[in-house]
Structure 1
């Protein structure tokens, strides 16, 4: 009688490793970002109130500064939307990787996409932490393969602060300097003074 042999191929090893890396990155992002500030479903308050003409952007090198006013829950909604879209992308990639009829090349491409997504999520979290360490009260970072968008809460962003944000992004992510855009959202204290 023959003993059954278990054959583990390269495909299974690569797929298992990529799945573990993806799961680790998602878990790390979840634990580092926390769940504070999330809004309950059904909160239909507007994200931003704009009045009059749009402000003209100030040119601080390759970064573009746009000022605007927003309610205090802007950052919570932005984080919730970002997390929802990332979760959807992760689920889609996991279902594709877990699918049955893929060639080895397609599985490798999907695994690379999953790793790239997890690296973007990790970079966003690190950049947000470093920007908050610069003294800003809140920020949200959006990275894609070509550029970065940063929304910071501030009473007035000056050129040195914009340069510091740009330096943080350039040190942590592989984006071109001209692909960085910085947006400013007025803090709550400034809004209250403007309404009075």
Structure 2
């Protein structure tokens, strides 16, 4: 009876993780593109609820845009922390079977490694001169949200692809770059 609950809890945690990833990938106003498409096809990922009017100063517009990136980072961290906490409960429960405990530990390690890869990629891309970057990785793809006013030239896209490919092992066609104007 307890092992069925544990399996159900693991399944729910995994479904939550998949739902979060799918929400980021397929949100109703998100327009992700393949990184190999031309610069003119690079589209915005987000429509913020904090739209600025023509009366708002540029400083306030930049702050609103920065808040979007900070909000997404916070949401990502909160979701991952909750998932890891749930998995730790499974691991720490003495009544959990060894098989389920091992699966939960493996998932904790996977989430931790995924978080580290995302942070590494974000920092490496920022080092190339972009204002802000958000990266979302799953087993089959990587979504890169770039904060820039500049066009994403073929050379800049290649830099991003190189970093993501090197850090994740994903192929170029699995990398989706989304430009967000500040």
TM-score by length of 1: 0.61
Once residues 66 and 78 of structure 1 are traced to their aligned partners in structure 2, the CA distance between those partners, rounded to angstroms, is 18
Q: Secondary structure at the match of 2:42?
A: strand
Please state which structure has a larger fraction of its residues in helix. 2
Deviation at 1:150, TM superposition (A): 0.7
Q: Once the two structures are superposed, what CA deviation does each residue of 1:42-85 show, in whole Å capped at 9, x if it has no partner?
A: xxxxxxxx8xxx98968625998323675422111111111111
Which structure has more relative contact order (CA 8 Å, sep 6+)? It is: 2
Gaps of 5+ in 1: 1-49, 188-196
Specify the structure having the higher radius of gyration (Cα): 1
Deviation at 1:186, TM superposition (A): 0.4
Please state which structure has a larger fraction of its residues in strand. 1
| Match 2:44 to one of 36, 42, 67 | 67
Q: Contact 1:62–1:178 (CA<8 Å) still a contact in 2?
A: no
User: Is it true that 1:148 corresponds to 2:148 in the alignment?
Assistant: no
Deviates more, 1:102-111 or 1:67-76: 67-76
TM-score by length of 2: 0.66
- After superposition, the CA RMSD in angstroms is 2.8
| Match 2:102 to one of 89, 103, 108 | 108
| Match 2:177 to one of 173, 182, 192 | 182
Structure 2 equivalent of residue 191 of structure 1: none
Q: Once the two structures are superposed, what CA deviation does each residue of 1:67-125 show, in whole Å capped at 9, x if it has no partner?
A: 36754221111111111111111111111111122222222121111111110010011
Report how many aligned residue pairs link the two structures.
Answer: 135
